[in-house]
A and B are shown apart, each in its own frame.
Chain A
Amino acid sequence: MDKRIANPEVMAGQIKKSEELFRILFYSSPIGTYIVQDGDFQLVNHRLARILGYEEDELIGRRSLGFVHPEDRNTVKGSAERMLKGDHSLGYEYRIVTKQAKVKWVMETVAPIFYQGRRATLGNLTDVTEHKRMEERLRQITAEMQRSNNELEQFAYVISHDLQEPLRMVSSYTQLLAKRYSNKLDADADEFIAYAVDGAKRMQVLLHDLLEYSRVGTRGKPFTWVDCKEVVEQTIANLKIAIEESGASVTYDTLPAVMGDEGQLVQLFQNLIGNAIKFHREEPPCVHISAQRKQNVVAFSAKDNGIGIDPQYRQVIFEIFRRLHTREEYPGTGMGLSICKKIVERHGGHIWVQSQLGQGSTFHFTIQVAEGKSA
């Protein structure tokens, strides 16, 4: 027999030590801990009593289920039974009602133990009311934002769609006037008709672009695996006339495949390459597309030798209908880059520009690559 253990003094000392350790761990634990036997509290710590709003001795002998919110009692019973049978989940959440009749959210884990020679349950419980409140608030804000976003998109769609009809009347009849009566009235009349025709035509283009913009969100296609080389080749084919007329050269590196909406990606490249060609200097435009994969993100860039952008405008160029030039200098509605931004954001990425006035521009954008797929 081991003499050290046999010695009653040593034994008493060890018991005292372990009791002290238990006291520290149990009573000053930041987690509410309890032992329940036959449904009643046998032992509770200070933290548990605080959460429930009672003194410790008020709880001993009381039914533990009595503190659970009446609507949650059945699910708590079920969750606790599953966990006691060995379900090693992280715990379950439910509501309790405190002595002050306040409802709190708690997170609990339970384990089967023996207490004074009989089966019992050891429970650990944390107050997660504040987390829950913030979670709920976040959920509400997200839902609210989603709703207002959808509403805005729908609004833009309806506006741009429904305004087409009356505009078609204005536009068609001013054109008919011009066709039948130009040179038959006086010079003033011809000029007035010309302005009316021009205004109606511009409004058509604006509405058309606004409709395109709203369609990015409302009429997007589900994502598929898209080869960006094919996308750029398609874009170059679409821009054939502009490329030939300006003598532009469009080059590209090896480009990866990404998960995306193919039609929208063509639209994205087309707007960027189209801009690079449109805003050129004296010499023929050169555009180069490259791509680099970094973890789950592909970073694309479109570098040109065009007129460049004053850095102070590098944010506003992405706003809708924003233009930095008069229509006489460069035609357009100022929607192209807004559409690009919307497409990139729908693909989980960002778009930005690096540029100096007169020194070309490089547009960068990222596209999220689906988890577990290689680009």
Chain B
Amino acid sequence: MNSQRVGRPIQILLVEDNPGDARLTLEALKDGKIQNRLYIVNSGMEAIAFLRRKGKYADAPNPDFILLDLNMPLMNGSQLLAEVKQDSALKHIPVAILTGSQAAEDIARAYNLHADCYVTKPIDLEEFIMAVKSIVDSLLNQREIADGGRVIG
């Protein structure tokens, strides 16, 4: 329903180093009938290049939100999150953490770094599809409220 509200497919940047998980998120979006355009990068460095339109990402769009895995080599999810939220050009982009970690420390750290949402990847497929759907719904609702109810595109 939200894809209709913004009037065009939602642009999502997925930062995920495991191709299996990336594909699963893609399938979950498809299954949840969410009109989307999913951009997948496999590291924090790539994500920063994408967001700042560096190098091969010169023509990259501004994503509506970022879906972020925490556990990645080199620049991990927390570091990327901190980087995004410190950058005045990027900090308005909602960031949802979608991770395997249920550790209280990880959840607390993510919210301290101003993550907009934290979801532990459910093991059950149906629950995973539901989780992805609810992240999309909740982030788009947040944006609507922030924009005084005006739908932005």
Q: Is A355 an interface residue (CB 8 A)?
A: no
Other-chain contact of B128, A164, A165, A172, A204 (Cβ < 8 Å): A172
Among A56-64, A173-181, A252-260, the stretch that binds chain B is A173-181
> Which of chain B's residues 21-50 have a Cβ closer than 8 Å to chain A?
21, 24, 27
- Tell me the bound Cα distance from A171 to B127 in angstroms: 12
- Tell me the bound Cα distance from A175 to B123 in angstroms: 10
B interface, by DSSP: helix, strand, loop or mixed?
Answer: helix
Other-chain contact of B100, A168, A171, A173, A204 (Cβ < 8 Å): A168
A214 to chain B, nearest CB (A): 14
B125 touches A176 (CB 8 A): yes
- Tell me the bound Cα distance from A105 to B38 in angstroms: 75
B27 touches A165 (CB 8 A): no
- Tell me the bound Cα distance from A204 to B128 in angstroms: 15
Determine the chain A residues whose CB is within 8 A of the CB of B20 once the complex forms.
169, 173
Determine the chain A residues whose CB is within 8 A of the CB of B21 once the complex forms.
169
A175 touches B27 (CB 8 A): no
Q: Is A167 an interface residue (CB 8 A)?
A: yes
Determine the chain B residues whose CB is within 8 A of the CB of A167 once the complex forms.
123
A172 touches B100 (CB 8 A): no
Determine the chain B residues whose CB is within 8 A of the CB of A176 once the complex forms.
24, 27, 125
Are A165 and B100 also in contact (CB < 8 A) when A172-B24, A173-B20, A176-B27 are?
Answer: yes
A40 to chain B, nearest CB (A): 65
Chain B residue nearest to A179 (CB atoms) is: B125
Determine the chain A residues whose CB is within 8 A of the CB of B123 once the complex forms.
164, 167-168, 171-172, 204
Determine the chain B residues whose CB is within 8 A of the CB of A173 once the complex forms.
20, 24
Q: Mark B114-130, 1 if CB is under 8 A from A, else 0.
A: 00000001011110100
> Which of chain B's residues 119-153 have a Cβ closer than 8 Å to chain A?
121, 123-126, 128
Determine the chain B residues whose CB is within 8 A of the CB of A169 once the complex forms.
18, 20-21, 24
- Tell me the bound Cα distance from A164 to B101 in angstroms: 10
Other-chain contact of A175, B18, B100, B125 (Cβ < 8 Å): B125
A164 touches B100 (CB 8 A): yes
For this complex, 10 residue pairs linking A to B, each with C-beta atoms less than 8 Å apart, are: A169-B18, A169-B21, A169-B24, A172-B24, A172-B128, A173-B20, A175-B125, A175-B126, A176-B24, A179-B125
